[in-house]
Chain A
Amino acid sequence: AQKITQTQPGMFVQEKEAVTLDCTYDTSDQSYGLFWYKQPSSGEMIFLIYQGSYDEQNATEGRYSLNFQKARKSANLVISASQLGDSAMYFCAMRERADSGYSTLTFGKGTMLLVSP
């Protein structure tokens, strides 16, 4: 079973509008972390926002906010006031402790966001 599910292969949004990228996760751990990364066409992975499983408040970082609904196991990314430079691939990821004892990141399949003028 997939641990991270991103159901939207692609999303379109107009500049200056808000957009929500969906992410659901599956884990039996009580302690875990949820991340969103942006990957432009150049390939680098850019960290956007982090939410810990025990954090009661939704994480916010500038125009990015994470809508964390623990009971539903969802961690949607909200980008407000979209900009042309936001066009990229977006990955949701979960960090949990593997059987080996290391903390590993598991990535979703990604959502391609295209922002139009």
Chain B
Amino acid sequence: GAVVSQHPSWVICKSGTSVKIECRSLDFQATTMFWYRQFPKQSLMLMATSNEGSKATYEQGVEKDKFLINHASLTLSTLTVTSAHPEDSSFYICSASGFLVGQTSNQPQHFGDGTRLSIL
């Protein structure tokens, strides 16, 4: 089945550091990738949606300059948290939807395992 790999799974860094999180689709072409943020004991909140080769669409209230999203290929999207501060500490999770190689039917969203970001 389709697999989405997210890396790293854990990041602890100092305030002011920029952190890059990668999301890869391993066996399908991810035409659309989604980035979510989840605070403890809360639901997933969509941050942005990106299509391969185009600019991301950010949800209301999400700072575009703070959370840089790049979806340069059909298998890779990155989220960069620029100049991270303690309030950016959260669980970030990506998901992807697209087409299995050789097939045309659209696949449901598949999620990465998430990245726990802790800013000291």
Contact = CB atoms under 8 A, between A and B. Distances in A.
Interface stretch (B44-52, B70-78, B80-88): B44-52
Contacts of B42: 109-110
B43 A102 contact: no
A35 B32 contact: no
Interface in A77-117: 91, 95, 98, 100, 102-110
A50 B112 CA distance: 18
B93 A104 contact: no
B97 A103 contact: yes
Interface residues of B, number: 21
A47 B113 CA distance: 12
The prevalent SS among residues of A at the interface is strand
Q: Determine the interface band of chain A, counting residues with CB < 8 A from chain B.
A: 20 to 34
B116 interface: yes
A55 B32 CA distance: 25
Contact of B116 (A33, A43, A110): A43
A11 interface: no
Interface string B109-120: 111111010000
A44 interface: yes
B34 interface: yes
Contacts of B114: 43-45
A102 B57 contact: yes
Interface of A: 33, 35, 37, 42-45, 47, 50, 91, 95, 98, 100, 102-110
8 contacts: A37-B111, A47-B110, A91-B44, A95-B108, A104-B49, A105-B34, A107-B44, A110-B43
